[in-house]
Amino acid sequence: MIEPDGLLAVGGDLHPQRIINAYSHGIFPWYSEGEPILWWSPDPRCVFFPDQVHISRSLRRAMNKNAMEIRFDTAFEAVIDACAAPRADQNGTWITDDMRAAYVYLHQLGYAHCIECWQEGRLVGGLYGLAIGKVFFGESMFSRVTNASKIALVCLCEKLASLDFKLMDAQVKSEHLMTMGAQCIPREKFVAILQQNCFPPDKTVFV
């Protein structure tokens, strides 16, 4: 039977090489505290082609007006902690202590990266993920002021396009992502793109 949500496996560990190999094959861990590690590969897959991100007029005005400072990889732990913080529409977080430790270590190894939005010396938005070969795998984002996470996503896509990245994985469809130019593609096509553009242990330095 095919699992409609893309659940492929249960168990294992969060060793860096296991995570890198999983992402390179279109699989990512996603589970809650107290559960075994769950490994997913949704079909279809929500993705961005970096040079096709959509910037609405209102968002462009916000980008020009807010004058946020954009930084890469200067506050990775602060970004992942902000992404893990409780949200009004959620019970708990999937970024467990073990997940946090695994991605912080991947950042230290040069695979995990973040983009940050700063305003008046305060971190107000951002997102983090993994860069393997020419594919960026987005994990989570946060926003403390209006549009901050959207601005982070746009600036990340612009950076990825400048580095000739072929794809940014957004994992699962949401209306928020679709309004910004995300597309849903069959898992088969997604995996084929990874086979052409993910070259472990290649990693990308953004700064």
pLDDT tens digit sequence for 24-61: 999 999 998 888 999 999 999 999 999 999 999 999 88
- pLDDT above 80 for 151: yes
Q: Would you give the DSSP letter of residue 178?
A: H
Domain count of the fold of the chain: 1
> Is 131 within a domain?
yes
- pLDDT above 60 for 4: no
What is the average per-residue pLDDT within 179-197? 96
Q: What is the rounded average pLDDT for all residues in the chain?
A: 91
Beta bridge partners of 38: 10
> Is 8 within a domain?
no
H-helix segments, the chain: 16-24, 57-66, 76-84, 97-109, 148-162, 175-178, 187-197
> Is 30 within a domain?
no
> Is 162 within a domain?
yes
Task: Judge contact between 123 and 71, C-beta under 8 A.
Answer: no
Provide the residue count of the chain.
207
% of the chain residues with pLDDT over 70: 90
> Is 108 within a domain?
yes
Residue 127 in 3-state DSSP?
strand
Q: Looking at residue 86, what is its pLDDT?
A: 78
Q: Looking at residue 65, what is its pLDDT?
A: 82
Q: Residue 28: phi, psi to the nearest 5? A: -140, 155
Q: Tell me, yes or no, if the pTM score tops 0.85.
A: yes
Task: Judge contact between 80 and 100, C-beta under 8 A.
Answer: yes
> Is 137 within a domain?
yes
Going from the C-alpha of 72 to that of each of 75, 114, 176, 196, 201, the distances in angstroms are 8, 6, 23, 26, 21
Q: How far, in Å, CA of 76 to CA of 30, rounded?
A: 19
Buried b (16+ CB within 10 A) or exposed e, 2-14: eeeebeeeeeeeb
User: Which amino acid type is present at position 14?
Assistant: L
> Is 12 within a domain?
no
Which residue segment(s) compose the domain that 109 sits in?
Answer: 44-197
> Is 123 within a domain?
yes
Kindly report the CATH number assigned to the domain that includes residue 180. Answer: 3.40.630.70
Alpha-carbon Rg for the chain in angstroms: 16
